[in-house]
Amino acid sequence: MVQVSSEYISIGCNRTAHAACWGNNELVAFGADTLVALYSPLDQNSKGIQETLPGHKGRVICLKFIERGHEADIKDVALVSGSADNTAKIWKVNADGKWINSATLLGHTGAVETIACMRAHSVEGETDTIITGSSDGTIRVWERRVVDENTDEVTCQQIISNGNKYPMSLALSYLPESKTPVFASGHTDKLISIYIYQTESKKFEKMHTLTGHDNWVRDLSFATYTASEENTHANNIFEEGDLILASGSQDKYIRLWKISAHVPVATETVKSDNNEISELSEALKESELEGEQLSTKAHMVTVDNRQYSLMFEALLMGHDDWVFSVEWQKPHMQTINGKERFIQPMRLISASSDKSMMIWSPDNQTGVWVNEVRMGDIGGSTYLGFCGALFSPDGKSIVSHGANGSFHVWRTSGDNHWTPHVAISGHFKSVESITWDPKSRFLLSASLDQTTRLFAPWNRQNNGKEVTTWHEMGRPQVHGYDIKCIAFVHDWQFVSGADEKVLRVFDAPKSCVESLSGLTGDKSMLENIERLPVGANLPALGLSNKAVFEGDALPDDHIDNNVGSHTVSSATSEQLAQVLHHPPYEETLLQHTLWPEVEKLYGHGYELISVETSHDGQFVASSCKAATAEHAVVRLFNTQNWKEVKTKIDAHSLTVTRVRYSHNDRWLLTVSRDRLWSLSERQADDVDTPYKLVAKTKAHARIIWDCSWSHDDKLFVTGSRDKTIKVWAQTTEEAAKWDCVATIKFAEAITAIDFAPVAVNNKYIIAVGLENGLIQLLSSVDLQQVNQWESWHNLDERLCHYGVVRSLSWRHPSSNETNILQLASGGEDHSVRIFNVEY
C-alpha cells in the first residue's frame, strides 16, 4: 500500500501588515499566497510549516484567532482569514484533529483588508463577534455561532459605510469595567473612528473620531491596563481597567490613546491639530526635564448612562519609515506578593519598513515611553523592512515577517537580551523550476521572486534522538530578473535562465560546501573543493555575483580598496570563510550565501524558458520564447570552453517549453508550444554537431508543457494542456522510430511530469502535476507491459499545491532507502514541497 506524507513545505509569508497572527496555542497562522499556513516557531525540532489550508481564491491578506475563556483559561477556538477574493473564512479543528473551513463570510465587494476579534481579559458567551474591513469602503459586523464540530453559522449584523475612506485596521475590546463592546477603525483619511455598541439599537454607533496621525493608520491594538508594582509610574497615569489603544501609521509615529471610566482631573488642550506633532515634541522634552506627564484634552462619551473619557496619551517616536504593525504583549498570570494575578504587561512591539522592530515600555522613573529593544537593521539590497511583529503567548519570543516573505524569530531568557533563532523562509512568487543536485543531496529552486534557493536536510542530535528537518540553506542567486529555469552542470555548479537573453553559470563558494557538509553530516561533500572560491560580492548596480578567492580576502581596513564604491560585499573578510553550525538566518541568507557567477552564455534573442545539462556535464541546452522558427531553436554550449557549438537544433516553429537529456546522454528530447516533440541523437566525436535531429512528431492537440525519460531510457513521456499524457517507446531498432504506446487522460491540463529514478516493484512510476495543483502517481503493469497504466496513488489535496504545478523532480534514493522515495514539487502557489512516498 502506498502512503504519501509531507516531509517539508517552504513558502513565503504574504507582504501585508496583518498577514500573520500568533495564537494562545503557540501556533502562528499566516497568509501564503491563497493559502493559510500553520507554523510553530517554538517547536524544539524546528519542523517548520505543519500544513497549508486551501480554500481562498485570492491572496490571503489578514488573519485573527477567535478567543474564548476567562483570563489564564483563554483559548483559541477558531481562526478567521480575509482574502483578496472578497471573502473571509473561519477555520477550526474538528474531532479528528484536522483543520476545516467551517464557514465563509460573504458580502464584501472588495478585498477583506483587516479583521478584528474580541481581545479582553474575559471573553465568554455562546457567540463570537467578528468585524471585517474591506476595500469596498465598508465595515461589517458578524456574529458567529457554533452549529456542530464541522459547521459554524455566521450572520451579518451590521454594515457601516465609509465611502471612499477605506478601513486599514481594526481592533475590538470591551469598555472599561463593562461588557459593552467597542471597536476602533483606522482609515486612509488618517483618522481613527471609535464605535461603541448600543444596547437599545443593538448596533455599533460612531461616538468619536481621534485625530493626530498625518498618514494612513496601518494598525491598531487594544490592551486592558492592570496595576502592578512593576508599573510604578504608570499606576499614576492609568487606572485599573483602563483601555489603551495603540495606533501605528505611515507617518512614522505610534500614538497611545486612553479610554477611562472616569473623568481626568487635569487636562491640557492642544491648540491646533496641524501643529500637534511639533508641539508634542517640545512639550515631551520639557516634561522629561520637569518630570511631568504630558496629556491632552479628554473627550467625553456617554454609554448606558455612564461616562467615558477618550484622550491622547503618548506619542512614540523612533521609527524612520512607515509603521506597519503594533501589538501589545499578551496578558498572563504573574505571582505578586505570593498571589497570582492576570497581568497585562505594558510592552508594545512595532514593526516598520525602516528595517527595524522596537519594543516599547514606560520608564519606571519618568513614565516616558521608550524603546527598550531595537532589532533588525538587516542589510541586503533587496530587503524592504518588516511588515509585522508578534509576541509569543509568554512574551519571551518574537516573530516578525518581512517584505521578502521570510520570518525572523528572537528569544530572550528574561534579561532583555534577545538572540535570533532558526525560522522559516520561502519564495514569495511562483516557483518555476526545481532540481536536485547530481547526487541528490540538496534541492535547488528558481522563482519569479528573482531568487534561486537551496534546500537541504539538517541532521543532528536533539535530546539524544536523531532529528532531521529541512531548511533553506542558501540563496545562490539574487537577480534583477524573474528566474525561469535552472540545471546543474556538476555537483557544485549550476546554470540559470531568466527573463533576459543571457544564461548565467554559478560555482559554489567553499564556505557553502563546508556548511552543507556539517549540517547534513555528509563528509563526502568536502572532496575536491580546493578550487572553489571563498565567497561572492554583489555589485549594487549590477547583476553578477563576483567571486572572491582566498588571496582576495583582505583585512577589513583594505576592503574598500578591493571592491568598488558601488559594491555591496556579501561578507566581511571574517565572514567569507564562515562555516555555519545551524541553518542560516534571513540576514545570512540575504548577504552571505551568494554563489559567484563564473560565466555568461549569449545567443538567444528573447527571454529564456528552459535549460538542461547533459549528465556527463559536457553540454548545456537551452531555449527561449519564440513566435517564429528562427528563435524556436535549441542552442548547445560546450562546458569545456563555454562556447556555443555551431549547429543548433532546429525542429520547432514556436517556443520550446522543455529540454531533457536521456540518462545515457544519447538522446536530447524537446517539446514545444507547436505541439511537437523532437528527438536528437548524440554524434560521437563531432564537435560542431554533437546532437543531430533524427525524429519529430506531432503528439498532442495543445501545447506540450513537459516531458521526461524513464530510468532505463527505454521510454519517454509527454504531458500537454490537452489533458493527456502519452508514453512513447522505441518499438524497433530504428533510431527515428518512437511510437505512442499509451495515452492516459486526466480531468485537468498536465503541467509537469517526471519518471521515478528507479523501478518500483518491477514497475515504472510517473508523477503527474496538474493545472489545479493536484499531483497523481501512475504505474505501469510491469516493465514489459508499458501499454497499460493505472493509478498508483493520488496525493491528498491538502498535501498538494493550490495552483499550477510548475515542476516535479524525484530524488534518487540512497542505498539504505529500500521502500521510500522522495518527490519534490514547485508550484504557482509560491511553495516548494517535498513528499515521502512509502510503498
Per-residue pLDDT tens digits for 471-493: 999 999 999 999 999 999 999 99
Instruction: Identify which of 169-173, 273-277, 540-544 has the greatest average pLDDT.
Output: 169-173
For the chain, percent of residues with pLDDT exceeding 70: 89
Res 139 pLDDT > 90: yes
Measured between alpha carbons, how far is residue 351 from residues 82, 254, 323, 725 in Å?
Answer: 21, 11, 6, 49
What whole-number distance in Å separates Cα of residue 753 and Cα of residue 825? 10
- Domain ranges across the chain: 10-264+295-421, 705-803
pLDDT bucket at 234, cuts 50 / 70 / 90: low
**In this structure, which long-range contacts are made by residues 642-646, counting pairs with CB atoms below 8 Å and at least 24 apart in sequence?**
642/505, 642/599, 642/601, 644/601, 644/602, 644/603, 645/619, 645/687, 645/688, 645/689, 645/690, 646/688, 646/689
In this predicted structure, the answer to whether residue 342 has a pLDDT above a threshold of 80 is: yes
* Highest-pLDDT range among 262-271, 293-302, 457-466, 826-835: 826-835
Determine which helix (DSSP H) or strand (DSSP E) holds 717, and give its type and residue range: strand 715-720
Query: Is it the case that residue 378 has pLDDT exceeding 70?
Result: no
Chain centre to alpha carbon of residue 681: 43
How far apart are alpha carbons 558 and 47 in whole angstroms?
42
* DSSP secondary structure letter of residue 265: S
Confidence category of residue 282, pLDDT binned at 50, 70, 90: low
pTM for this model (two decimals): 0.90
Residue 535 pLDDT grade (very low, low, confident, very high; cuts 50, 70, 90): low
Find the angle CA(218)-CA(220)-CA(223) to the nearest 5 degrees. Answer: 160
Task: Note the pLDDT of residue 384.
Answer: 73
Q: What is the model's pLDDT at position 320?
A: 92
- DSSP strands (E only) in 403-534: 407-412, 418-421, 431-436, 443-447, 451-462, 465-478, 483-490, 493-498, 503-507
Handedness of CA 436, 437, 441, 447 (dihedral sign): negative
Residue 674: predicted pLDDT? 97
pLDDT of residue 577: 58
Predicted confidence at residue 830, as pLDDT, reads: 98
Mean pLDDT of 225-244: 78
Record the cell numbers describing residue 200, joined without a space.
437599545
The pLDDT value given to residue 554: 42
Between 522 and 273, the more confident residue is 522
Report whether pLDDT(58) > 50.
yes
* DSSP H or E segment with residue 343: strand 339-343
State yes or no: pLDDT of 228 exceeds 80. Answer: no
Cα–Cα distance, 268 to 256 (Å, whole number): 16
Which residues lie closer than 8 Å to 491 by C-beta, 6 or more apart? Answer: 437, 438, 439
Query: Average pLDDT in the 190-197 region?
Result: 96
Q: Which long-range contacts (CB under 8 A, 24 or more apart) does 733-738 make?
A: 735/681, 735/694, 735/695, 736/679, 736/694, 736/695, 737/695, 738/679, 738/695, 738/697
Is a pLDDT exceeding 50 seen at residue 266? no
Is beta strand 643-644 parallel, antiparallel or unpaired with respect to 656-661? unpaired
Question: How would residue 551 be classed by pLDDT, with cut points 50, 70 and 90?
Answer: low
Q: Strand pairing of 418-421 and 407-412?
A: antiparallel
| Separation in Å, CA 420 to CA 36, 39, 381, 706, 737 | 25, 17, 21, 42, 60
Which residue type is seen at 185? S
| pLDDT at residue 816 in the model | 67
Largest separation between any pair of C-alpha atoms in the chain:
100
Instruction: With H, G, I as helix, E, B as strand and everything else as coil, classify residue 656.
Output: strand
Contact of 53 with 62, CB cutoff 8 Å: no
How far is residue 446's CA from residue 830's CA, in Å, rounded to a whole number?
11
Given a contact cutoff of 8 angstroms between Cβ atoms, the answer to whether 657 and 705 are in contact is: yes
pLDDT at 423 over 70: yes
pLDDT at 575: 54
CA distance 37 to 833: 13
Question: 374-383, 515-524, 551-560, 709-718 — which is least confidently predicted?
Answer: 551-560
Compute the half-sphere exposure of residue 600: CA atoms within 13 Å on the CB side of its CA. Answer: 11
- Can you tell me the mean pLDDT for 417-425? 93
Whether 285 shows a pLDDT value over 60: the answer reads: no
Q: What is the mean pLDDT of residues 315-337?
A: 91
* Distances from the Cα of 442 to the Cα of 291, 457, 757, angstroms: 60, 8, 16
Higher-scoring residue by pLDDT: 670, 570 = 670
Is residue 538 pLDDT above 70, yes or no? no
Higher pLDDT, 472 or 332: 472
Contacts of 699 (CB under 8 A, 6+ apart): 671, 675, 676, 677, 718, 720, 726, 728, 740
Give me the pLDDT at residue 211, please. Answer: 94
Mean per-residue pLDDT over the chain, rounded: 89
Is pLDDT at 272 greater than 70 in this prediction?
no
pLDDT value, residue 731: 81
Average pLDDT in the 667-685 region? 95
Length of the chain as a residue count: 839
Q: How far apart are the first and last CA of the chain?
A: 6
Q: C-alpha grid cell for residue 804? A: 499550477
Region 451-476: mean pLDDT is 94
10-264+295-421 has CATH 3.40.50.720 classification: no
619 has a pLDDT exceeding 50: yes
Whether the per-residue pLDDT at 570 is higher than 60: the answer is no
User: Which of 337-341, 675-679, 761-765 is least confident?
Assistant: 337-341
287 has pLDDT over 90: no
* pLDDT value, residue 533: 78
